[in-house]
Amino acid sequence: MGASGPDIAIVGAGIGGLTLALALRARGIDAEIHEQAPELREVGAAVALSANATRLLARLGLDEQLTAAGAEPTELIHRHWKDGRRIAAHPVGASYRERFGGPYLGVHRAAFQRILGDAWGSERLHLGAAVSGVTEDPTGAGPTGGDGGRVRLEFADGRSARADLVVGADGVHSAVRRRVTDEDVTVYSGTSGFRGLVPAEAMPSLPDPGAIQFWMGPGAHVLHYPIDSAGTVNFLAVVEGPQRWSEDTWRAEAAPGELLAAFDGWHPAIIEMLSGAPQSARWGLFGQAPLRRWSRGRAVLVGDAAHAMLPHHGQGANQTVEDAVTLADCLAGARAAGGSEAYDVALRRYERLRRVRTRQVQRSSWVTSGLLHLPDGPAAERRDRKLATVPADFGWIHAHDAGRAAAAAVAS
């Protein structure tokens, strides 16, 4: 262990891994990132960043870049699938920033990845490093005390590396999670999605193109929002089925025209939107049963490796940012405390701070899925009346300050 703290190996250079590395650096702790891809790239079209993340990213000095790269929606609107009427609408923009202390931004995933990657640099980033195994290495004493030494990472190309702590930021198919737990935690939701990017001018029938909008209908919904100053709109079209997901990955090819067929009879703006981009692969939408443990020995998880969630609250990336900042604060507190037990305490504190929070968001997102797909009728009318209170009902998600929560826990 160096003077600046433990030797930390982060597996995965996505949103979680890069944010964690930057948060650690801001606290004077070094890390090495190991990424299996030969270059930095994000899968998926865009990401919605809410104040519970943008507030933390601003503290890392990234607010100007994110604001310049993204777009700030004007409103949150829920619409009827066929006639397009505004069922409920709530302002975003300045009033959202004033309430929650940070903006709500739509950003292309590639742009977000680039901002994080540029801020980190290439010196401690190892590309083409696919982890094939994680083991406790008893040959050297690490910072956490206990029953062994450091962590040994084995890579697919035969190389290896050692660290005092390894962080699995490697997503839903995490190699590090296999070290932490053997639980089979992914749960198929029975729904799947298609993604795309469409210029606003290709959708002349689209009302309020600058808003984040949910179009809700029988057995399906469409979420879309702007992601740049050019008016590019990102959409996620979610449909019921297939009943079982038999693919080995979360992506599967769909028959030509399958997406448009699922939305036959919907508002012309939705047809224009779904026709405005090539039909994507079908994405199986999976949630994750809560893990019983997030760490084991010197291995710990962040982001989708710990708590993959359905996208209906747009919180996957945001909860990952919260994880990263919380873990960085806990590790910085351990460094300040010193002693062989400090890092054990830090990992337990991190898990305690994040497990309840992420479980609540996971559960809420799962319930929301069915509500968005109700057919017209009494149940949909009850849901529509409830949408008037969305800001009050879900403000707890956006108001949470993971940095302050971690600081209070470390100080206690």
- Burial pattern 45-60, b for ≥16 Cβ within 10 A else e, equals bbbbbbbbbbbbbbeb
104 tagged catalytic: no
How far apart are alpha carbons 371 and 128 in whole angstroms?
42
How far apart are alpha carbons 320 and 174 in whole angstroms?
14
End-to-end CA distance of the chain: 25
Which residues are CB-contacts of 260 (< 8 A; sequence separation ≥ 6)? 271, 274, 275, 279
Question: Could you tell me if residue 369 is left (phi over 0), alpha (psi between -120 and 50 degrees) or otherwise beta?
Answer: alpha
How far apart are alpha carbons 126 and 132 in whole angstroms?
15
Find where tokens 């997406």 sit: 259
**Angle, helices 342-371/316-337, rounded to nearest 10 degrees:** 170
Vertex 33 angle, CA 32 and 38, to 5°: 135
How far apart are alpha carbons 355 and 183 in whole angstroms?
16
Q: What are phi and psi of 371, to 5 degrees?
A: -65, -30
Q: Which of 96, 104, 188, 225 is catalytic?
A: 225
How far apart are alpha carbons 353 and 319 in whole angstroms?
12
* Residues that are catalytic: 225
